[in-house]
Amino acid sequence: MDYDLSLDQWEILKVLRQPPHERRAINRSPLVRLIELGLAAGNAESVVITSMGRKVLIRGSAKLLDLAA
């Protein structure tokens, strides 16, 4: 369950927690990879974070913890 996500992908997961009308523009390239991993789902008009995406976001990443230290 430890995904090697880029900082952009982590930011997109955080944005996907917000209601669609409150979201800023999302970069499609990192989003496609999140959909492939099953962390996000949807199409060009509507993208949502999956339950697995929420778990990954809550758990975080060891790489992110290293950056914060």
Integer CA distances (angstroms), 34 to 23, 41, 46, 68, in order: 17, 8, 14, 23
pLDDT computed for residue 67 by the predictor: 55
Query: How high is the mean pLDDT in each 10-residue block of the chain (69 residues)?
Result: 84 91 87 94 87 88 56
Element holding 14 (H helix, E strand): helix 7-16
Domain ranges of the chain: 7-68
Q: Give pTM, 2 decimals.
A: 0.79
Say how far residue 35 (Cα) sits from the centre of its chain: 9
62: amino acid identity, one letter: A
Write down the residue that tokens 């900082």 correspond to: 7
